[in-house]
Amino acid sequence: MKRFYTLVLAALLLPMSLMAQGWPANYSGVMLQGFYWDSFIKSKWTKLEGQAGDFKGYFDLVWVPQSGKCLNSTSMGYDPYYYFDQNSSFGTQQDLKSMISTFKANGIGTIADVVINHHNTKGWWGFPAETYNGVTYQLKTTDIVANDCNGKTKTQADKDGVSLSSNPDEGEGWDGMRDLDHKSANVQNIVKAYQQFLVKDLGYVGFRYDMVKGFWASRVRDYNNAAGVEFSVGEFWDGSSKIKQWIDYTEKHSAAFDFDFKYTVTNAANSGNWNSLGKPNGSNWPIVSTNSDQSYYRYAVTFIENHDTEKRDNGESNGALEKDTLAANAFLLAMPGTPCVFYKHYLAYPYEIKAMIDARKTAGITNTSSYSNYRSAASYFGNIVTGSKGKLLVMVGANYSEPAANRYVKILSGHHYAYYLSPNTEVAFADKPSGTYTEAFNTKLTAVSAESSAQLVYTTDGSTPSATNGKVVAGGTSITISDNCTLKVGLLVNGSVTSTTTRNYTFAKPEDETFETPPAGYTFSANFIAPATWSADIEVHAWAWIEGGANYTPDNNAHWPGDKDHVYRVGKSKDGGYIWKWCYYGSETVPPSKIIFNNGGNGTGNQTADMVFTDNGWYNMNSTQSDPTLDIKGLTQASVADNAWYTLTGVKVARPTQKGIYIHHGKKVIIQ
């Protein structure tokens, strides 16, 4: 009986140890970095949750920003302060849990950004006390490494009469905040509790570790084992030989970002010398390369851009991709390793990137797939990647010869890239991915088969195509999709359908023509007609010249450039500029004195002057009038004979009681 109990206990413990092995082998998933620098609007939890249906079937993992509350009300999360309070610049803790739950329901795992190398403080020593599961956790001054900030922290500690750890930093230091001593039992206990909270209470499936050069790699192993996660990836920003050494030091309990892959692809695209894809980046080959140990492919998370390397609004860049974004993504999504797509790239090219993912999954490419070079020259480069279902040939660049049709069948192409499948893949491929479209489009249906007489049969009502159900067409045919439908296309060979591909298409208005109705309950408001040259997502800064200097931006913290969260796009003027409404929902009872509208707040012309505030007033770049007819034209076409009421966005409503401007009998009516 004792032996039976021991065996059962061992069986129960086995999955945990297996789950903590860094990254799954033969993994076919694709990851999305769901943010970029300052993506506070595009990466709000509610915004990302709303895209779950769009991500479904394409992105298996979404890496999101560090979700703990920070001292600054607007923060990307790399200045962590709270571990167990998850109300961040991207939304509330409840919003976060809802997003993670919705992702899970759609087959998507959420990856937490874990920042444990350093910690923010109030002053030098102010760490918060937090309670989780009845236990109070708080960092101490003795949890700060002895040589923090190159000795500046020790100098301050001596002045204040406090003690630091006697241990130096395990890795690289960073002067921005207090570096934590991971030899400290208190630090280890807090980190383990925090990560268990992320997994058990919030629903994260894995971790992206920030700045892992700052502490021993073995810590990642221990923390992963304590949390029992299957997915772990470290940001070890260095050459591949050192990255592989770091993976070894974690005892392969974590994957790592393949930085040399990023820089090799970036250099090839930026220079136009595509042949350099087959050469090392300096003296370092990418982890995913024919010159490396293929056993490390499993632990390589490949990428071509992230929030640190991208070119930011202020011009900063750490080797950003400057051109051929689609070609670079085509190469990324064809290769082994686990590809991580950058959110900006996805927002710019959602259909093209999803089509590439369709091709990857059709071929059955995984993180451990093998590949070989097909052809290369200065103007082009091609690799053949062997998947479990077929071979995918990726060509990037220009001036290459098309492969023989009996060897490879083209299924996708665009500027400086093309995808081909080996005929033995035996599949019907549709080059437009599932998703929401704004206008009718053509999708090309391609028969990929070793049988030259193969045909296609398709339906658009969701029924299963067969030799007697659906429309039979030639092996390469374009069809027009103009309404919501479920397309199913099968490969028809010798009277039988051997495979079926499904695409779900829906139609909606373009996002930039979707207008909002501000929630009720605001105290003050202002309306602004932006220039047509301004992009979306403007900010509003409003303040009062009264005692105490009340400010009306979020949390009354005088944050510049202002409030984004309570600015609503309510319409569009005839000249093409959007009409915005700013609403104040705070506790101030005295209206602001002044207001500024800006689109970037960088002082280069994308902002108004300091304008006198008038409640529910109307503004443009050059006026502080409260006349609601100011420059507003062509917002709606209500009939004079129509007795109904409409909002400025054309939505029919009951006779309004909320103040604002409405269309009634073809005229604008002000409800005060």
Q: What is the pLDDT of residues 553-578, one digit of tens each?
A: 654 444 567 777 788 888 887 677 88
Strands 435-437 and 496-507: parallel
What average pLDDT is seen over the chain? 88
Quickly state the pLDDT bin for 640 (edges 50, 70, 90). Answer: very low
Task: Name, in order, each residue with C-beta under 8 angstroms of 51's C-beta and a sequence gap of 6 or more.
Answer: none
| Residue 671 structure tokens | 């409800």
pLDDT value at position 624? 58
| Residue 435 structure tokens | 């998703």
| Residue 152 structure tokens | 């500046």
The values of phi and psi at residue 660, to 5°, are 155, -165
pLDDT of 313 above 90: no
Q: Which of 359, 276, 353, 345 is CA-nearest to residue 304?
A: 345
Burial class (CB in 10 A: 0-12, 13-18, 19+), 183: middle
Compute how many other C-beta atoms are within 10 angstroms of the C-beta atom of residue 163. Answer: 12
Separation of alpha carbons 198 and 110, rounded Å:
10
> In terms of residues, how long is the chain?
672
Strands 611-612 and 652-653: unpaired
Q: Which amino acid makes up residue 504? A: N
Q: Which of 267, 269, 263 is CA-nearest to residue 243?
A: 263
pLDDT value at position 650? 58
Separation of alpha carbons 409 and 543, rounded Å:
63
Separation of alpha carbons 61 and 58, rounded Å:
9
Separation of alpha carbons 395 and 410, rounded Å:
10
Please give the distance of CA 386 from its chain centroid, rounded to a whole number.
28
Separation of alpha carbons 641 and 619, rounded Å:
31
Please give the distance of CA 276 from its chain centroid, rounded to a whole number.
29
pTM: 0.80
pLDDT value at position 550? 62
pLDDT value at position 6? 35
Tokens 């599932």 belong to residue: 434
pLDDT of 637 above 60: no
Packing angle, helices 240-249 and 259-271, rounded to 10:
160
pLDDT value at position 627? 45
Packing angle, helices 217-227 and 240-249, rounded to 10:
50
Average pLDDT estimate for 361-369: 98
CA distances from 397 to 151, 250, 294, 312, 637 (A): 51, 38, 26, 26, 49
| Residue 83 structure tokens | 């571990």
- Report the alpha-carbon angle 201-205-208, nearest 5: 110
Q: What is the pLDDT of residues 277-310, one digit of tens each?
A: 999 888 889 999 988 889 999 999 999 999 999 9
pLDDT value at position 285? 92
Separation of alpha carbons 629 and 181, rounded Å:
62
pLDDT value at position 222? 98
Average pLDDT estimate for 598-619: 77
Q: Which of 561, 537, 551 is CA-nearest to residue 594?
A: 551
Give CB contacts under 8 A, 24+ apart, made by 377-381. Answer: 377/274, 377/275, 378/273, 378/274, 378/275, 379/272, 379/274, 380/274, 380/275, 381/268, 381/274, 381/275, 381/277, 381/278, 381/331
Packing angle, helices 325-334 and 350-363, rounded to 10:
20
Please give the distance of CA 394 from its chain centroid, rounded to a whole number.
25
pLDDT value at position 470? 95
Compute how many other C-beta atoms are within 10 angstroms of the C-beta atom of residue 415. Answer: 12
Please report, in angstroms and rounded to a whole number, the separation of the first and last CA atoms in the chain.
Answer: 81
Burial class (CB in 10 A: 0-12, 13-18, 19+), 401: exposed
Separation of alpha carbons 51 and 435, rounded Å:
10
Task: Name, in order, each residue with C-beta under 8 angstroms of 186's C-beta and a sequence gap of 6 or more.
Answer: 139, 140, 142, 143
Separation of alpha carbons 591 and 586, rounded Å:
11
CA distances from 199 to 50, 88, 139, 230, 630 (A): 22, 18, 21, 11, 53
pLDDT value at position 171? 95
